[in-house]
Homo-oligomer: A and B are copies of this chain.
């Protein structure tokens, strides 16, 4: 393993300066927050630079402009959720438990990572022009769909799931019932005149979601 300059700086007890990787990471992190908060159009390059404790010029040096930076952030976001999903090890559980775990996980992931939702919304506003360029996302997503498909098949063969359910439709629905609630938490709280983000409300929602999916899938 090569000794990075970051490690050298650390070893020398100095603050992280002149460390390309660290700077890139800081920019990426700051960009994620800024894009999540304000969308692609509303995000400000200056603000990202400032929050990253980096020079604005570095953003162009490392990421070649705002758009490409957004694309990188978006890819990272997709990688994040897909990686987490892979770690669920649904195969180690019996079908019903596995399905419930997936619904609960999806919900909790959105809850913990609302920035993922804002990023995706922003990307859809831009007609997915950044995602179109990404090959990685397709590959990892395919893998994920495969995982759910296997789960469904296993459940069917064990006689606990109904046959004939499309894994893509199921995936979409599992995502939808969580995503929609979170992304519309502000307007929803007004329209329905209740605080959708209150602790009880969140708990109630996840139960409702689990029940919705179980009733749909179980035999």
Contacts and interface: CB of A to CB of B under 8 A. Distances in A.
Interface of A: 38-39, 41-42, 78, 118, 120-121, 123-125, 127-128, 131-132, 137-138, 141-142, 145, 166, 168-169, 171-173, 175-177, 179-181, 183-194, 204-205, 208-209, 211-212, 215-216
Contacts of A189: 128
Nearest to A130: B187
A158 to B, nearest CB: 20
The A interface, classified by DSSP as helix, strand, loop or mixed, is helix
Contacts of A124: 183-187
Please give the count of copies of this chain that the complex contains: 4
A153 to B, nearest CB: 18
B172 A181 contact: yes
A28 to B, nearest CB: 20
